[in-house]
Amino acid sequence: MSPVHLILASTSPYRQALLERFNLPFSVCAPEIDETPLPGETPSQLVLRLSEAKARAVAQQVGAVLSEALTLHSLSPLPPSQPSSKGGRSPIPSPSGGGLGWGLAVQECAPLNQKRSDDSPRVLIIGGDQVADSGGVAVGKPGNFDNARKQLRTLSGKTVIFRTGLALFNPQAGRCRSVRVDIATTYRVLTDAEIEAYLHAVQPYNCAGAVRSEDLGIALFERIDNDDPTALIGLPLIALARLLRAEGVNPLLHQPPLISHSAP
């Protein structure tokens, strides 16, 4: 079984924390793309397009690094400041400084022309994107307090679908698999005092719809209907495990070997 190294096309600490659950080595790289919605683009189309675009962009940004890594049969090690007992993560420098349900697509992308020997690491790049869909209108990251308050006032008492796009790009094969996971949420009727207290406590300005459900944001909801709770945080791990298995990487079987400690 050849080793695998993942690259997360995101600097989101929430996605990084989720990916660490797989206990696989991974690096992070910020994708350099324009995230502006296209004219007439639906939220469902937007998250699929951006998740794929992020994975492809990172493949191009770190192409030289990937080529060198595949030649050396290794990727950049963890910096001393980021030790990890798990698979670990390391930064990859950039050369340029509907309805509810599943949507699955496999698309062919241009290969990066990297040669891979049997014992070199398999490199797979993960891209993700999320928007809150309120009646067909995409609600993105607020960026600041005023926008976040406006978003939550608008979403108060409504059912909102969080649409999460996920892409897994295999640069050696030039293959990109993508999936969309939708989660229906019903907001409580929120008072201004509740909204402002939540925003001051959490400051979720880099989260779609100003929701950070992994902490205090869960108190915003009346109910959540979903098949994968990690999707609401931004990286659907059940779907990702499925895509990884389709690429021949089973997270359960690609664990690092146990270190045996002999008794004195």
The per-residue DSSP string of 146-197 comes to: HHHHHHHHHHTT-EEEEEEEEEEEETTTTEEEEEEEEEEEEE----HHHHHH
Q: Which of 34, 118, 129, 228 is catalytic?
A: 129
CA–CA separation, 141 and 207 (whole Å)? 5
Residue 246 DSSP SS3: helix
The DSSP code for 258 is P
Distance from the Cα of residue 24 to its chain's centroid? 15
Radius of gyration of the chain (CA): 19
129 annotated active-site: yes
Do residues 192 and 203 touch, judged by C-beta distance below 8 A? no
Which residues are the active-site residues? 129
